[in-house]
Amino acid sequence: MTDILQEIITRKHAEIIERKARLGLAELQESVALSGPARDFIGSIRSKIGAGQAAVIAEIKKASPSAGIIREDFNPVSIAQDYAAHGAACLSVLTDEHYFQGADIYLTAAREACSVPVLRKDFCIDPYQVWEARAIGADAILLIVAALSDEQLQTLEESAHYLGMAVLVEVHNSAELQRALKLRTPLIGINNRDLHRFVTDIETTLQLLPQIPEDRIVVTESGIRQVEDVLQLRAADVNAFLVGEVFMREAQPGAALSKLFGLLDAHIVI
């Protein structure tokens, strides 16, 4: 685990203690019981791919530790609607407050503004967070292999599946991939950002592809900036993408999505 990831996880442990003190697990579970069912995150991705289109998980992100403020004019509702209207398969919403200036309310608002499934993008290390994710409206959670033990990965995945949520498991290298493949989820996210050098290279996805069984869905993450990147990855039969920062820097994120992925004629009823 890198120093920055370790720092984030350490802070997350303290944050979870504070959140549990404010709202106990029993109360959280009562809230989940009153909520509607999760949307079909995996099904939405498969539907796009089955139609011969790129399945884009479009990210809603205000800031990051490395880039600082990415989008000053930050309105999760309008961004979500823009993404949905321009063909996004799913949304990813940052909820980490300290490092990404995210918030739970951003996810709730984005999900209520459209009909597409939503991933809670955060650093999930405790089953409490899984219940919390469902309570705020998440249809899927992210599990980062570099931050979790095998036992944690299995426990958190079981919790998510119990609540009807999908799991995107994220890896950065071959060793992490082998651990991720022990899980049931078909969604294997490959983060092209090197956690040590903080550079991105889509070759990371291409190099790991031969190690991934055909029954899994590869979601390439980070470093997809131009049409050539998309074409190169789709030529290698990578058809699911998680992209955020390049869209967040544009006045119209949805238009940027449709332009990058050739989804000009793909529209979803919000």
Residue 134: Cβ within 10 Å count: 26
- The kind and range of the H/E element at 207 are helix 203-208
Q: Which of 170, 176, 192, 258 is catalytic?
A: 170
Active site residue 221: yes
Residue 156: Cβ within 10 Å count: 22
Per the domain annotation, does 109 fall within a domain? yes
Q: In the numeric block, which tokens belong to residue 224? A: 């997809």
CATH number of the domain enclosing 175: 3.20.20.70
pLDDT at residue 199 in the model: 77
- Residues 160-176: pLDDT tens digits? 999 999 999 999 999 99
Active site residue 62: no
Per the domain annotation, does 268 fall within a domain? no
Q: Which of 64, 92, 191, 192 is catalytic?
A: 191
Active site residue 222: yes
Q: Of 151, 148, 82, nearest to 116 (Cα)?
A: 82
Domains held by the chain: number: 1
Per the domain annotation, does 15 fall within a domain? yes
Per the domain annotation, does 266 fall within a domain? no
- The kind and range of the H/E element at 42 are helix 41-50
pLDDT bin (cut points 50, 70, 90) of residue 65 is: confident
pLDDT bin (cut points 50, 70, 90) of residue 255 is: very high
Cα–Cα separations (whole angstroms), residue 188 to 34, 94, 168, 211: 31, 19, 6, 11
List CB contacts of 129: < 8 A, sequence separation 6 or more: 16, 122, 141
Q: In the numeric block, which tokens belong to residue 205? A: 């996805």
For 77, the domain range is: 3-261
Per the domain annotation, does 34 fall within a domain? yes
Q: Which of 12, 48, 62, 121 is catalytic?
A: 121
- Residues 77-131: pLDDT tens digits? 999 999 999 999 999 999 999 999 999 999 999 999 999 999 999 999 999 999 9
Overall pTM surpassing 0.75 (yes/no):
yes
Per the domain annotation, does 267 fall within a domain? no
Do 217 and 188 touch, CB atoms closer than 8 A? Answer: yes
DSSP single-letter state for residue 100: T
Q: Which of 61, 92, 132, 157 is catalytic?
A: 61
- Residues 177-210: pLDDT tens digits? 999 999 999 999 999 987 666 678 999 999 999 9
List CB contacts of 220: < 8 A, sequence separation 6 or more: 189, 190, 192, 202, 205, 233, 238, 240, 241, 242
Q: Is the pLDDT of residue 28 over 90?
A: yes
Give percent of the chain with pLDDT exceeding 70: 95
- Residues 222-249: pLDDT tens digits? 999 999 999 999 999 999 999 999 999 9
Query: Is the backbone of residue 73 left (phi > 0), alpha (psi -120 to 50) or beta?
Result: beta
CA distance 28 to 184: 26
pLDDT at residue 265 in the model: 44
Active site residue 151: no
Active site residue 173: no
Per the domain annotation, does 270 fall within a domain? no
Q: In the numeric block, which tokens belong to residue 120? A: 């809670």
pLDDT at residue 263 in the model: 64
Q: In the numeric block, which tokens belong to residue 244? A: 């955020």
Active site residue 78: no
CA distance 83 to 52: 19
Q: Which of 15, 59, 132, 157 is catalytic?
A: 59
Active site residue 132: no
